[in-house]
Amino acid sequence: MNITENNTTHEFLQSLDAITETPLGKFAKSQGFSVWHSGGGCHHFRKENSDGFYVLVCHEFEIPKIDPGAWTIGLFDSEGIEVDIIDIEGKLEEALAASDKLLMESCQP
């Protein structure tokens, strides 16, 4: 890895850390979510279940600095195939609770 690549990687990791350290990031982390970069500058809160299904939670493809009261939840299978997309009119707490419910329901019996 050259110096330019190393600096870019360092800046990228700092940007993820910065999101995690916001009030919304800290709350999501306390609920078991991590900050995930999906490419193209888009960031989401992500959580996975034991079957490999995962949810991505964001607002218009980004994690805002303040809670907008409207969130999108995407549920994906273990191969990354979209299973469901839900829009939530509510605070992050409600969106993360709905995400947990989706993950629980997607577990195989």
Report pLDDT digits (tens) over 15-66.
Answer: 766 778 889 999 999 999 999 988 777 889 999 999 999 999 999 878 888 9
pTM: 0.84
Extents of the domains making up the chain: 3-106
- Reference 44, options 80, 68, 71; nearest CA is 71
- The pLDDT value recorded for residue 8 is 62
Q: How far is 53 from 30, CA to CA, in rounded Å? A: 20
Q: For residue 9, what pLDDT band results from cuts at 50, 70 and 90? A: low
Query: Which H or E element spans position 11?
Result: helix 3-20
